Structure 1
């Protein structure tokens, strides 16, 4: 069973170095005359406010176009449901089923296509594809997404030549497992994870899970075309023939993700799962690659590749725990589940934050003999937009239940979200921005959210940590960032006691320069983890110029700037900052509108004993 080469209903990614498309700042060039041949719409066709400017890819189940959004003046990817084996183009835009006997299959595939759009529109995670809007027209359906540029993980591995090291793989796994944890909490499963279904975005190499190919699976199910559905080596046995003893669930995605990492390490896939049922020829990589990676890392991959579900790592959170990443349930970076009905963007805190104590109970920094070597106390958050309580265990149902849409199927007004070749992690909301919060709801946590929400699309920032669960007195704080533009980094930390610290710049490093496209490992000096335990928020901001925080009236402690968080100070600095959050700081020696530009990303950690 092999996957057909033209099976491409996924979001198509323009490879880095491919022919250029119109820049986001300018409208597209005049469209060439329409050409016959093929089922794609002619270049220059308008679908609502979207003008088609190119074809990014055409597969057996859909066509992805490059389009220009004339309303918001941005490039987008527009995906059309068009199963070429079942339907044909009639006239300029209409899609018609070829034969009445295909009608039910076509309709089921389109329903699945729409449900997938609804599903993706409800999630906002930097490693999940965003859906701006979707609608039905012309006998078919469409969805509009950001235009992503990058390279598939499969192509990256092929070009790289040698196997990536453990740090690189852990940096890849951290956001991917967080994204899967988000959809699993809603009892939804990807079921199509493979190296060619993960892309690394240009400039940052941030991983992105492509859309789920739901229409492809439904049509394959109805036509009994397993070759369309499954990828040998990545598909676990329960996907071949589900039975009461072989249900699909979170463990199904665990297997496929682990198989993708196995491929990255070995250059080949694990033996097909169906053959392993008869004679299991799988050789544990904890044996074949001992010494090249840590034993715990290799053992976690082997466990996740158990051939039967009851022999396998049961959930993404369990997989993260085995990898040392910690549970993603309440502190996955940049995760938002968009509401299915109008609702406040986040709950107001029960009360205003208490003034920061003069002496922090955690003894935030303990002198270590040299300036700048300090113990970072856990710094967590006060109020998030959703409850951090663990979600109910997902059902073992073979497919996700339909989820109410966040928008009506008819074309809604365009969402005012800037788009660029790469989207800013956790900073591009799908929902309409809420009205300004009342002063009573002000908190440092809400300002963290505001910074991420108002991040500028032209400064793409990604940040991640190889480990998000850190042990007191045992682990050090280590993370990395990338930016699409040159600038300077600021890193703020918010603690469980509502303490706010500017970690970087510090007394030894008065500026943290960032070079566009170049990974930056931080911090420059060792920061061991100290008391107290609790959830952590790190806010990473990149600005074209250095920022000043003097209006906060903070004080230096142990080489770091401690900022007051009492309600009075917060209200004052918010009012003084005007249209931007005071957490961004003030530009030094800058009076142009560009002074307010910044990119931001967030890392959430859990500090434990």
Structure 2
């Protein structure tokens, strides 16, 4: 990366049962190895020792996606690591494949085994597609994101980020003691925030459990995984209740159709309470169906008195009430009882429909299965938006410039480099899950709990952490037309747009770890940005030619509602771009906390201002500087 022209040179198988999204566990042998190159041949035997007859071999092309390797295979779906040849990134590609109902015929085609399975297979297929369509509508940092989905080859596919980390189940198993309250509160806040988003759209997860939450590598941020729509519909139609429910986590209203026991937000809160109970006690609460006959539940308020605050454990006990009406009715209420801040819950605190919110897909009588098959509207993930028609995307998306949305750092791919972790923004940091044993901080047995640990400092990592701490309501999008720039030939160029008016700041860290403030700079101080108005940088008054050192340049684009002061960082202004010497970086790193970064600066307001907003939105992106092959 160089300064402006004429300026001085700056030279699963983590969760293979059912159809859950299988994640790349950092502890899984071989997964961190470099994937095979495009077009690499490989037999099923060399592909994976766990690959079954239905798995697709490496090199298989599905539209613009190329299979790299198997991640995991379950009873209802197969998940692959795939390479997106259009956007140049690695993704997780999930294929609908209920092995009991269908089999692979030919290279990619899926065929139902028997005519008697046709109706069940089609119902599961529709639910798979509907789940993908619904998830694609959400964009929350703790909800699994669906980039694309389509139907082909007799089946359907969905494409998601390639998440790296460990499941909460494995993380808890690796802990030497139960997590303390601070750790649990840090875990619960983003999950409740995500549930508030779902519930506001009249959607319910209905499958919350430790094996369905991943703690992302690098940040420890929890992400709520699959809703398991196809698994639920097929299990429901075949009366396989064990496929649908998890005893201990499933509330009573999920066991049977009782008019007075409707499913709703309170159903997810029961499961979330059971998750916390399991984390603290080491076992789940008694199954809710048994509690209806004889309730042997032992309240946390009595079991762990003195180890956690009375307010916290009583809130969990409240969420675990057997009867739905006796639990917190909204995400906002549950968050308030726990003493958690939840901006999304505050915005979406009420149930979508007051009175008797009902999850579409609830069964309503002996003839319900027939009505589902004829009407075709039943899905396990139920949303008001999903009750009408749904689209099957079979065409390829248009090839667009490399695009980065708020908090999604998508690195440019150099050939077939090892897959990059694709993450969304978060308001909270938990802990780095470099391995299962390190995924969570060791719990303290006494209160008050200690401050959660902050990740070891790296300059590029801190840019990502600033984006993770940003307000998700301030959306910052960046477009990079050329994510790989040839040294001494290509000029760097990117554009930024924000949904809010504010002040734009751009920082960069080059491969030599030089930390720079690119904008505003000594030549360009006008950093105001209007909502929806695109700013293209670098401007013509300070063009930047790609320069050495070679490698990835990491960028942070930040839009603050008020001007920000970065003087406390100790920036040096002896060039067009302010720089942060290594000693100043270390000094600032020592002042970081789990919820703040001195590298983000501080908001500066006039004395006359009635309120000084500290809010900002941010996203990270990369531009790789390479040498010409000519």
* TM bracket, shorter-chain basis: 0.5 to 0.7
What is the 5 A alignment of 1:19-38? Answer: 19-21=29-31, 27-28=37-38, 30-34=40-44, 38=53
Go from structure 1 to structure 2 and tell me whether the alpha carbon gap of 1:255 and 1:207 turns closer, same or farther (over 3 Å shift): same
Matched, 1:169 2:189: no
1:278 aligns with 2:278: no
Output aligned runs, 1:319-398, within 5 Å: 319-329=334-344, 392-393=352-353, 395-398=357-360
Deviation at 1:82, TM superposition (A): 0.7
Distance change in 2, residues 1:29/1:204 (3 Å): farther
2-structure distance, mates of 1:26, 1:41:
14
Cα distance change on mapping 1:317 and 1:134 into 2, 3 Å: same
Between the aligned partners of 1:417 and 1:404, the Cα distance in structure 2 is 32
Matched, 1:412 2:396: yes
Partner deviation per Cα, 1:420-469 (whole Å, 9 max, x = no partner): xxx9974369xxxxxxxxxxxxxxxxxxxxxxxxxxx77968653499xx
Q: Does 1:598 align with 2:598?
A: no
Report if the CA contact (8 A) 1:88-1:98 is conserved: yes
1:17 equivalent in alignment to 2:27: yes
SS of the residue corresponding to residue 126 of structure 1 reads coil
Aligned match of 1:194 in 201, 206, 209?
209
Q: Does 1:302 align with 2:283?
A: no
Deviation of 1:552 after TM superposition, in Å, equals: 7.9
**Contact 1:7–1:228 at 8 Å: present in 2 too?**
no
Shift of 1:145: 1.1
Structure 2 gap ranges (5+):
1-14, 46-50, 362-381, 411-419, 431-450, 475-501, 561-594, 597-611, 615-630
Aligned partners of 2:313 and 2:506: how far apart in 1?
31
User: Which residue does the alignment assign to 2:132?
Assistant: 117
Does residue 213 of structure 1 match 2:228? yes
* Cα deviation, residue 151, structure 1: 0.8
SS in 2 for 1:175: helix
CA spacing shift, 1:415–1:14, aligned 2, 3 Å: farther
Where does residue 262 of structure 1 map in the other structure? 277
**Distance apart, 1:91 and its partner CA:** 1.8
* In 1, Cα distance between equivalents of 2:116 and 2:339: 52
Question: 1:238-249 alignment to 2 at 5 Å?
Answer: 238-249=253-264
The match for 1:102 is 117
1:576 is displaced (CA, Å) by: 7.2
Residue equivalent to 1:139: 154
1:136 and 1:409 in contact (8 A); partners too = yes
1:329 shift after superposition = 3.3
Return the offset for 1:6.
Answer: 6.0
1:7 and 2:21 correspond: no
Cα 1:93–1:577 change in 2 (3 A) is closer
CA deviation after TM superposition for structure 1 residue 249, in Å? 0.5
Classify 1:590/1:41 alpha carbon distance in 2 versus 1 (closer, same or farther; 3 Å): closer
8 Å CA contact retained: 1:233, 1:259: yes
Once the two structures are TM-superposed, the CA of residue 215 in structure 1 deviates from its matched residue by 0.3
Cα distance in structure 2, aligned partners of 1:182 and 1:195: 20
Deviation at 1:411, TM superposition (A): 3.2
CA contact (8 A) 1:461 1:599 kept: no
Shift of 1:242: 2.2
Answer yes or no: is the 8 Å Cα contact 2:278–2:285 preserved in 1: yes
Report the Cα distance in structure 1 between the residues aligned to 2:193 and 2:300, rounded to whole angstroms: 24
Do the aligned partners of residues 540 and 304 (structure 1) sit closer, same or farther apart at CA in structure 2, a change above 3 Å counting? farther
8 A Cα contact 1:76 1:146, kept in partner: yes
Relative to structure 1, the CA distance from residue 61 to residue 458 in structure 2 (aligned partners, 3 Å threshold; closer, same or farther) is: closer
Equivalent runs, 1:287-298 vs 2, <5 Å? 287-298=302-313
SS of the residue corresponding to residue 170 of structure 1 reads: helix
Note the alpha carbon deviations across 1:153-185, whole angstroms, 9 max, x for none: 011100112111111111111111111111111
Instruction: Give the match for residue 339 of structure 1.
Output: none
Shift of 1:590: 9.7
* CA RMSD, Structure 1 to Structure 2 (Å): 4.5
The whole-number CA distance in structure 1 between the counterparts of 2:311 and 2:526 is: 41
Aligned to 1:427: 408
Alpha carbons of structure 1 residues 591 and 40: separation in structure 2 relative to 1, 3 Å: closer
The answer to whether the Cα contact below 8 Å between 1:129 and 1:209 also exists between their aligned partners in 2 is: yes
1:91 to 106, 127, 131: 106
Task: Give yes or no for contact 1:320–1:326 (8 Å, CA) kept in 2.
Answer: yes
CA contact (8 A) 1:206 1:462 kept: no
Alignment check: 8 A CA contact 1:53 1:67 kept:
yes
SS in 2 for 1:208: strand
Give the SS at the match of 1:278. Answer: coil
The answer to whether the Cα contact below 8 Å between 1:220 and 1:228 also exists between their aligned partners in 2 is: yes
Equivalents in 1 of 2:402, 2:192: separation in Å? 26
C-alpha change, 1:389 and 1:150, in structure 2 (3 Å) is closer
Instruction: Tell me how far apart the structure 2 counterparts of residues 539 and 287 of structure 1 sit (CA, whole Å).
Output: 51
Contact kept in structure 1, 2:191 and 2:223, CA below 8 Å:
yes
- Please give the alpha-carbon distance, in whole angstroms, between the structure 2 residues aligned to 1:156 and 1:14: 14
How many angstroms apart in 1 are the aligned matches of 2:526 and 2:340? 31
| More displaced stretch, 226-235 vs 125-134 | 125-134
Task: Please give the secondary structure, in 1, of the residue aligned with 2:134.
Answer: helix
Tell me, in whole angstroms, the C-alpha distance in 2 between the residues paired with 1:301 and 1:539: 42
Task: Name structure 1 gaps, 5 residues minimum.
Answer: 333-387, 430-456, 468-477, 499-535, 554-562
The match for 2:570 is none
Give how far 1:537 is off.
13
Q: Distance in 2 between matches of 1:134 and 1:228?
A: 24
Q: Note closer, same or farther for the CA distance 1:14–1:330 as it changes in structure 2 (3 Å cut).
A: closer
- Hey, what does 1:464 align to over in structure 2? 427
